[in-house]
Structure 1
Amino acid sequence: MTFKVWSILLLSSYLSACNAPGSEHYQTRIDPVTAEKVKRIIRSDVIPYKGESHGKIIKRVSTSFLGTPYQENTLIGGIGTPEILVANFNGVDCFTLIDYIEAITHSHDQKSFLRNLARTRYTAGKVDYLSRRHFFSDWFATSPRNARDITPDISPEYAIADKQLNRKPEGGEYIPGLGIHPRKINYIPGKAINQQVLNRLNDGDYVGVYSPVEGLDVSHVGIVVRHDGQVWFRNASSLAANKKVVDSPFMEYMQSKPGIVVLRAE
């Protein structure tokens, strides 16, 4: 295939209009570097391992993102701005990282990846700013469900917080127009994170750092991975010392935090 033809195909993918049955009309944006990475990851880390547990595939796919620069605000859309389905592996934040990983683990080519990304990132797969899963708990509380909340199964010392998600402490909404969403959030307090908790975590579990702020459920998210005899928290770190996707020692990282919320995709 000539470079010119390849560029035309990529441009078509970069600004394509999707009209899947039952979905809204929306645009998709994927750059050439990301398109190539999607192809490579699916070919090397997904298709050959279909017989493995989903958690193991998540771990394998997420390894490909280690070292990816931390970057905020890569998504396009907002109040009064049309939402675009963005796939950008050149820079990720903690939420876009897990979106990409979960979507690609279910995919067999670029087209299916983009379809799965819409289902992962948006409630009912509707590509719209107010349909984004803005909260980690949206992954289990809205349909189609990305994962289930296994926090109570991980520790008998879990606590329950009654939240008013999206409500600012001083009044108003974090995301105007989204409304206030009452939700019970299960979390394991930081002081209760011990070896028994670590023993119950599986490769590929998604973990959120619990936020005590009323209108939020978590402040950060990442993935459980096991290697070198330890449990690690794989995350897109905004810390000045990192600014990239890294593995942090799980126990060391979490014991100073308010708590954790644990989800498992299957």
Structure 2
Amino acid sequence: MSSLLQVKITGEVISRVSSAFLGTPYQADTLIGGPDTPESLVVNFNGVDCFTLADYVEALTRSHDQKSFLHNLTEVRYTGGNVDYLSRRHFFSDWFATTPRNARDVTPDISPDYATADKQLNRKPDGGEYIPGLGIHSRKINYIPGKAISQQVLDQMRNGDYVGVYSPLEGLDVSHVGIVVRHDGQVWFRNASSLAANRKVVDSPFLEYMRAKPGIVVLRAE
């Protein structure tokens, strides 16, 4: 099977799997673990935030039964499959920058108008750390500026691509995460929305949603 066909099939599966979460309530802070709390592998399909939605969808896409799902969720959520708070992939770009890799960064392939920012991930504006004890990580983040997000960009994105809303803050890569889905002749941003009008997993029209955003980072499952 060609790699191009495999990518297309994987994207279709991601789209179908994620559709099962439509309407699932938005719920933050469902994971257990912290600087003073032992990490536990949490599975909670009753409430998701934008990142746990992506975790579950990617792990389910790779799995064929409960045992393989738990293994794959561990691999997706944690660097090296090590269930530990500081090994958790706290940043969207950890999906391509740490191992085992969940996805590859296709942002430069999506648009020639992409830009690159030098980030100091985990550094707060006051010099502290968002995740205490994780340290500061220098990383180059490719993103497509909001003003460059056009129909041509949408045409290059594939069903099942993971998209992060770029953050201009030095210590963050993205502020929100969702999944590209195509249906009814449109491109949608499937996401666990914390907006008061939603508070659940919804499909938002992609261009309309991203129009005023700083930019996007696009990853594609391997």
TM over 0.5: yes
Distance across 2 between alignment mates of 1:232 and 1:108: 27
Name the counterpart of 1:194: 150
C-alpha change, 1:151 and 1:167, in structure 2 (3 Å) is same
Which of 69, 88, 100 pairs up with 2:44?
88
Structure 1 residue aligned with 2:178, among 202, 209, 222? 222
- CA gap 1:52/1:210 in 2 versus in 1, 3 angstroms: closer
Partner of 1:78: 34
1:91-130 alignment, distance < 5 Å:
91-130=47-86
Number of residue-to-residue matches in the alignment: 217
Equivalent residues in 2 for 1:155-194 (5 A)?
Answer: 155-194=111-150
User: C-alpha offsets along residues 185-224 of structure 1, whole Å, 9 cap, x if unaligned?
Assistant: 0000000000110000100000000000000000000000
Residue in structure 2 matched with residue 64 of structure 1 by the alignment: 20
How far off its partner does 1:80 sit? 2.0
TM-score (norm 2): 0.96
Three-state SS of the structure 2 residue aligned to 1:187 is strand
Counterpart of 2:3 in structure 1 is none
Tell me: CA distance 1:242–1:155, structure 2 relative to 1, closer, same or farther (3 Å): same
Deviating beyond 3 angstroms after TM superposition, the runs of 4 or more aligned structure 1 residues are none
1:212 counterpart letter in structure 2: P
Aligned with 1:133: secondary structure?
coil
- Equivalences for residues 12-51 of structure 1 within 5 A: none
The alpha-carbon deviation at position 255 of structure 1 amounts to 1.4
Larger radius of gyration: 1
If asked which structure has higher relative contact order (CA below 8 Å, sep 6+), I would say 2
2-structure distance, mates of 1:51, 1:240: 35
Distance 1:52-1:202 versus aligned 2 partners, 3 A rule: closer
Give 1:171 shift.
Answer: 1.1
> What is the SS of the residue equivalent to 1:152?
helix
**Aligned partners of 1:110 and 1:134: how far apart in 2?**
24
RMSD, aligned α-carbons: 1.1
Superposed CA deviations along residues 150-170 of structure 1, whole A, max 9, x for unmatched, are: 000000000000000000011
